Amino acid sequence: MPAHSSDHPHLARLIKISSLLPETTVERHGSHAAFRIRKKVYAYFLNNHHGDGIVAVTCKVLPGDNKALAAAQPLKFYLPAYIASKGWVALRLDLPKIDWAEVKELMQTSYLQIAPKRLAAMLESDHQFQ
């Protein structure tokens, strides 16, 4: 899916990363976006969500990893409202330095958990994304 000139530069980069994941669609909602595999969301781009001033990508991680990441690196990761209890974590994109390889890995991990098994297997067997 092509990026639009009005996209936040980080959203444009997330869209580029997501283009490597089979059957991904991006739905924009104002300054936010949802990344979907078929009808299921595997990542959110949040820009000043509820006026918090934070730019972040939010993804589903393995059980317990969200709390561990937020505890180990609280300036970088946080538990997002509403969905943290379901295993989601947010990675801040408004920091001076962003590790885009880490962002890519987080999005891929989330995709693999949400995607149908056939698509997840395709991605795991295709080393294009790694």
pLDDT at 128: 52
**Is 67 inside a domain boundary?**
yes
Question: Which CATH number belongs to the domain containing residue 56 in this structure?
Answer: 3.90.1150.30
**Is 34 inside a domain boundary?**
yes
pLDDT at 127: 55
pLDDT at 30: 80
pLDDT at 61: 96
> What value, to the nearest 5°, has the Cα angle with vertex 63 and ends 81 and 69?
65
Cα dihedral across residues 57, 101, 4, 42: positive or negative: negative
Q: How many domains does the chain have?
A: 1
- Mean pLDDT calculated for residue range 122-130: 65
**Is 68 inside a domain boundary?**
yes
**Is 44 inside a domain boundary?**
yes
Structure tokens at 36: 């979907």
Radius of gyration of the chain (CA): 14
Strands of the sheet with 40-47, listed across from one edge: 24-29, 32-37, 40-47, 55-60, 88-92, 77-78
**Is 130 inside a domain boundary?**
no
**Is 91 inside a domain boundary?**
yes
**Is 1 inside a domain boundary?**
no
**Is 55 inside a domain boundary?**
yes
Helical residues (DSSP H) of 19-77, grouped into ranges: 65-72
Provide the pLDDT confidence category of residue 1 given band limits of 50, 70 and 90: very low
Please state the pTM of the whole predicted model. 0.87
* Domain range for 58: 9-123
Digit-coded pLDDT (tens) for 90-115: 999 999 999 999 999 999 999 999 99
